[in-house]
Each structure stands twice: as C-alpha cells, then as structure tokens.
A and B are shown apart, each in its own frame.
Chain A
Amino acid sequence: MAWAGGIVGLVIVVALLAPWLAPYSPIAQNLRDVAQPPSVRHPLGTDQLGRDLLSRVIYGARTSLVIGAAVLAIAFTVGTAIGFAAGWFGRWVDETLMRAVDVLMAFPEILLAIAVVAALGPGLANTMVAVGVSSTPRFARLARAVVLSLREETYVEAARAAGAGEWRLLRHHVLPNSVSVLLVQATLLVAIAIQAAAGLGFLGLGAQPPRAEWGVMLVDSRTYISTAPWLLTAPGLALMVTVMAFNFLGDGLQDVLAVRIS
C-alpha cells in the first residue's frame, strides 16, 4: 500500500508541477521533428505532429486528476446525499430514490456515460458530468447501506434518546462514522473515473484534441501503430499505473481501516 500511496502522490506532484517538469509545451507542434523515436532531446519521442510525448504524458496526468477530482465531487456529493436520505428516512423516500438508482444501474456504467455525452455533446467538461452521473448510483447504494447499519447502532439510539434532532444525528453521528467506508470507495472511484474518462477520450467522445489526455493520445497511436509504436507505450503505461495505484491504495485503505462493506 505504501508504494501505491507513493505513486498516487507522485502523479499528484507531477500534475501540479507540470509546467515546470515538462521540457516542452504539450501542444506545440514542430513539423521538423515529426514521429521521432525516443532520443536525448525527446526522451519518449515525438508524435505525428512533432509534439514532445513526455510533455504530453506529464500534462495528461493533470487532465486525468482533474477529471478524477471532478467526478469524485459529483458522485460523492450527490450519491451520498441520495444514499443518506434513502437510508435515513426510509419508507417512500427510500422507495422512490432506490427505484431511480435501480433504473440507472440497468445501464452498464460506460454506456450510461456515453448516453449522457450523447445528450450533452462530446468534450472534457461533459465527460466529467457523464462519468460523475454514471458513478453516482454505486455511491448512493453504498451510502444507503452504511446508514442502514449505523442507524441501528446504540450510540445513535442513545443520542436520539438524549433529544438530538434528525439533522444533528446525521451530521454528528452518522456522517463521521461512515467516513472510512466512503473514503475507500472514493479512492476506488478515482481509479474507475480516470479509466472511464480515458475510454471516452479514446472513443472521441471525451477530451478533444489537441488537449493532452492519455485516452486521446492512444487514439492517435492506433493510426501510427506500425510506424511509431512508441506512441502507444507511454500514455497507456501512465494510465495503467495511475489506475492501479488508486486501486491498490483503495484496497490497502480497506484493510487498514478494517472496512466491511455489505
């Protein structure tokens, strides 16, 4: 888990310091250095427009993390709110909200994201909304399950007996105690979000060229697969290692926090 945390930290630092770390601009074309294999001047080579691949991979970290953060913000807030409301108030609130969640879960996540993009149109901002929406049902289910189990805890009962109002119970007793479960899920969600957004980028429905995004970079690599195979190694590897680091970190957190998710 330590190494996974280390990689996640590294990706964050690279994303923050991208302008200082990248040797070139990620979108500057240099038509005299087109599709060059790795060299001293361009450690990862250049692409079909002579853009420095290392710089694009570095800036790609920025794009992916911003997407991950935005998706997390949407899915976490909306999902937790829905799940808490359903689990806490029960009865018709629960019924209504969970039926809606069931409907959204009838679609495979990537397909739901594609459906949202189909309505809103391709692009980076819409990708964040799309992946955020498609990840919300999963979060809502989990938050509801957590609340349902916490609701029966004796300390909640005690607080209620002591005269605490619904809002106070939720804020001071349920929320703090569900943080560890939600934190694990949030870490795993970032991995899913980054992968899904790259998938949309690869389909041409996500981030648009010339933006440096790992999925978009892989589309280009397909065209030049026989003449410039180095184009497909670096972005794919960056994507996989980042996703894997978040996945391992989530698994590790789950063990450390001894979280049991039903």
Chain B
Amino acid sequence: MSRFLARRLLALVPVLVGVSIVVFLILHLVPGDPAEVIAGTGTTGEGIEAIRHQLGLDRPLAEQYFKWAGRLLRADLGRSLVTQQAVLPQLLYRFGNTLKLAVGGMAFALLVGGAWGIVAAVHRGSMWDHIFTVIALAGVSMPIFWLGLLLMLVFAVQLQLVPATGMGGPATFVLPVATLGLNATALVSRIARSSLLEVLQQPYVRTAWAKGLSQPRVLWRHMLSNAAIPIITVGALQFGYLLGGAVLTETVFVWPGLGRLLVDAIMQRDYPVVQGGILLVALTLIALNVATDLLYALVDPRIRYQ
C-alpha cells in the first residue's frame, strides 16, 4: 500500500506543476500590458510602474514564475491589489463558507438521490421508474442558477418561509443547500439506480432471496453494501462539479463564498485573489481525487498492483 501511495503521489508532481503554470499564466494572458489593465484609466505612468513593480512584471517571465511558485510553496499567495491584505486568510474564510454549502449539498444529494435510486431500481420498469428517469434527465438539464431563482421565488418571496439571500442562521442555508443538492441529486440517483440494478443480478443476491431473507435485509445487507462503492465514488467526483455549481449558487443567494469572491475579484481585476482562488479549488479537487483513488485501492487490492 505504501508503494502505491508513493507512486500515486509522485505522479501528482507534474500535474501540480502544470496547474501552477496555468494559474500563473492567467495574469500573463491578459491582452496588452497587465499593469495598465489593472491600473485602469486615469492612472499616471508612475502608478502603472508601481503596479508593474509590485507584481514583479518587470522581471523575465521564467524568473517571475519561479519566484511566484517559490512563494506558493511557503503558502504565500500575495496581497490583494484592492484591499492590500494577504490573500490566503481571506480565501480560506470564504472557502469555508463555500464548503458548508457544498458538503450540505452533497449530503442532500446522497440521501435523496440514494433513496430515489433504490426506489427506482427495486421497482424497475414501473411507472415510478419512468417518471423518475424523466425528472432526473430534466434535472440534469436545468441550469442551477435558474433552479435557485425558482426556489427563491416560491419559498422566500411568495411563501416567505426562509430568507431569500445572505448567510446567517440555519434558515439561510435551506435554499442554497437545496439548490446545490437537487442539482446533484439527479446524477446520484441515476448512478444509484444502475449500480443497484447490476448488483441485483449477482448470484449472491439470488442466494439471499433463495434463503428466504426479507426484502429489507437483502436490500441493506447484500445489495447496498456492494452498490455503495460506485455511489460514493461518483459522489466524490461530483464534488468538483458541486464546487463549480457553488459559484453560481452563491451569486443567486448573495452567499459570501469563494465563488462570489472570485467573480468580484475578476470584475475588479484583482489578479492575486483570482489566481489564489482558482488554485485553491484545483488543489482541493486534486486532493479529493487522490483520496478517492486510495479509498479504491483499500477496497480493491488488485488496483494497487496495476
């Protein structure tokens, strides 16, 4: 296992270098002179020169990258051009708010999508199965921000059950978490259904039925424990998609998360914040992928020797 872990971590190095180059290039792909773009109109030549110097843009490209990457390794993401404050603490605070939404949404999707998939698989071919399939396909096509707006219209504006925007008490979590969760539910339910259907045909399930075990017992002891692995894996992979969806959800509900911070930073051309935010999400996903691989290897020893 430790050899597998070492190999997996070693394979990570080029990806990490690549990701850092992509994030580094964000600032350098800015058309024209980045310093002038950041300064905006009405800044004098000296002001532009100062920004160029602060960002190190007056140095050769390779030198800039290595300096920047060196600071990254010391967890120094620089300072915001707008507030002049260190980027990392701000990012981590906002990322915490985003994670609350994402974890809540994931839990929602696994519970609701899982239950839904079980019902659809057990009653395969029934009217319910068909209705669920159509709803799930519609759900995949539904833009998450529109779903959020509709939920807001019904539950906050018309029924006035929960607040429409902002982050505060538990009630403020209901709509954003439901929005993110419902969006992911469609996919989770499809995977749950298909992996259960696969398990359903296994000989050990037939044996369990033949032994005269009750339906709940077969379902829980024999089927779900075997179908859970693909469901959880998809859940983990869905997490990245969920983080992407969080950007849009945060805009709908004015949630002080990382996504909202990123979009605001882009509007203000606050590149250190933009770069740091994008890097943070990418690193989270990479860590999650590695964790999923390790989990797989733990469960299935064959994977370790591939």
Contact = CB atoms under 8 A, between A and B. Distances in A.
A240 B19 contact: no
A122 interface: yes
Contact of A118 (B26, B152, B243): B26
B266 A122 contact: yes
A221 to B, nearest CB: 7
A226 B157 contact: yes
Interface stretch (A31-39, A85-93, A155-163, A201-209): A201-209
A99 B15 contact: yes
A215 B252 CA distance: 12
A202 B145 contact: yes
A225 B149 contact: yes
B92 interface: no
Contacts of A247: 137, 140-141
Nearest to B22: A103
Interface stretch (B27-35, B41-49, B79-87, B203-211): B27-35
Interface residues of B, number: 49
Contacts of B30: 119-121
Which of B28, B146, B266 has the most chain A CB atoms inside 10 A of its CB?
A: B146
A244 interface: yes
A236 B146 contact: yes
B262 A218 contact: no
Interface in A246-262: 247-248, 251
Interface string B114-151: 00000000000000000000000110111111100110
Contacts of B248: 110, 199, 202-203
Nearest to A201: B145
Given A114-B278, A202-B248, A244-B141, A99 B153 contact: no
A243 interface: yes
A236 B148 CA distance: 11
A51 B252 CA distance: 23
Interface of A: 99-100, 102-104, 106-111, 114-122, 191, 195, 198-199, 202-205, 215, 218, 221-222, 225-226, 229, 232, 236, 239-240, 243-244, 247-248, 251
> 8 shortest A-B CB distances, which residue pairs?
A103-B18, A244-B141, A108-B244, A236-B146, A119-B29, A110-B244, A243-B141, A108-B240
Interface of B: 14-15, 18-19, 21-23, 25-31, 137-138, 140-146, 149-150, 152-153, 157, 164, 240-241, 243-245, 247-248, 251-252, 262-263, 266-267, 271, 274, 278, 281-282, 285-286
Given A110-B244, A215-B143, A222-B149, 13 more contacts: A102-B15, A108-B241, A108-B243, A114-B263, A115-B26, A116-B29, A117-B266, A118-B26, A119-B29, A225-B149, A225-B153, A229-B157, A243-B141
10 contacts: A106-B285, A108-B243, A115-B274, A118-B26, A118-B266, A118-B278, A215-B145, A221-B149, A225-B164, A240-B146
